[in-house]
Structure 1
Amino acid sequence: MTNPRITPLTPDQAAPEVRPIFETYLRERGNIPNMFRTVALRPEHLRSLIAHFRTVMNEGTVPTVLKELLWVRISHLNGCRY
Structure 2
Amino acid sequence: MARLTKLTKDEVTTDVKELYTNVGKQRGNVPNMFRVYAHRPEILKTMIAHMNAVTNTGTVPVRTKEFVATLVSRINGCEY
Q: Same fold (TM over 0.5)?
A: yes
Aligned residues: 78
Counterpart of 1:13 (choices 11, 15, 21) is 11
Indicate the residue corresponding to 1:40 in structure 2.
Answer: 38
AA aligned to 1:52 is: H
Please provide the CA RMSD for this pair: 1.4
Indicate the residue corresponding to 2:56 in structure 1.
Answer: 58
Indicate the residue corresponding to 1:77 in structure 2.
Answer: 75
TM-score by length of 1: 0.83
- Residue by residue, what CA displacement relative to the aligned partner does 1:45-73 show, whole Å, maximum 9, x if unpaired? 10110011000000011111110011112
Structure 1 residue ranges (4+ consecutive) displaced by more than 6 angstroms after TM superposition = none
Q: For structure 1, which runs of at least 5 residues remain unmatched after alignment?
A: none
TM-score by length of 2: 0.84
* Aligned-partner SS, 1:7: coil
AA aligned to 1:25 is: V
* Percent of aligned pairs with the same amino acid: 45
